[in-house]
Structure 1
Amino acid sequence: MKLKLAEAEEIADAVQKAAEKIGKATSVAVVDDGGFLLVVKRPDGARPLTPNIAIVKAYSAAVMQRPTKMLKNWAEGNPGFFASLSSMATHPIVATEGGVTIKRDGEILGGLGVAGGTGDEDQEIADEVLAALGYQLEFQAWGVPGKRDQPTT
């Protein structure tokens, strides 16, 4: 199953409407499961760097197959390795709020990145939109239960 362009556009439009409701000019990016850009939108009033930030958040959520906020403990616990991921990838890998993996029926379809509000606002918008559109938001932590959310090697 692949994320279709029409679905990516629906997600992006819903994000911008949700952001407008809270008075934020947020950029949004949607990528496919390989991290390739499908849609990016920057509304009037959004800061110039926000589209790039949204793209990196979406990319990270897609290729790491976890929401970017789940990557924080891994980045803090193994900063050298985590930093080296950026040199291996097309875009930097970020561990912050606002990047959510798009998943349906247990399958990773892509990533959503929201940028322009606070981290909490970006995350809330992304989660609300994906939940409203019927995508899954549950992800198992990597590694041993009770330990950091990072992959085991």
Structure 2
Amino acid sequence: MAQGRAAAQDAGVNAVFAILDAGAHLVTFSRMDGAWLASNELSIAKARASVMFRAPSEALNVPWQAGQPVPHFDHIHAGGLLLMAGGVPLLDGDGQLIGALGVSGGTPEQDAALARAAIARVLE
């Protein structure tokens, strides 16, 4: 979480981070001061989608365009999934799914970049 928070600070984004295990159970959660309250649920829903499909949360979605309706946003209420960028699978050294990281607080593109940056910082 510290690596994700540092990446978010570097990007000027107040974000929420959620890590789920391979069974989609919440393992840890961190909310930066000033992050939107809605991001609490959104980060978990992005991580859940990533675990359920073993892929980035945006893999089954269409690109998001500023000023346009947010596609698939309603899925957070229908099963707790959000097919929007910001959820990334976590894999062990053998490539096996061990969980997912979900990030919410910026645009979907920013959230995805923060999730990937957090993972990259852990692997450094």
TM-score range, shorter chain: 0.7 to 0.9
- Structure 2 matches for 1:41-56, cutoff 5 A? 41-56=30-45
Q: Name the structure 2 match of 1:71.
A: 60
Please give the alpha-carbon distance, in whole angstroms, between the structure 2 residues aligned to 1:128 and 1:44: 20
User: Structure 2: where are the runs of 5+ without partners?
Assistant: 63-74
Q: CA deviation at 1:22?
A: 1.2
Larger Rg: 1
Match status 1:98 vs 2:61: no
- Structure 2 matches for 1:1-153, cutoff 5 A? 12-72=1-61, 91-104=79-92, 105-134=94-123
Count of aligned residue pairs for this structure pair = 110
More helix by share: 1
Q: CA deviation at 1:30?
A: 0.3
- Aligned residue identity for 1:121: Q
Q: CA deviation at 1:45?
A: 0.6
Task: Please give the root-mean-square deviation of Cα atoms over the aligned residues, in Å.
Answer: 1.8
Higher relative contact order (CA 8 A, sep 6+): 2
- The superposition leaves residues 81-115 of structure 1 with CA deviations (integer Å, 9 ceiling, x where unpaired) of xx6xx75xxx4222110000111221001010000
User: Structure 1: where are the runs of 5+ without partners?
Assistant: 1-11, 74-82, 135-153
TM-score normalised over the length of structure 1: 0.66
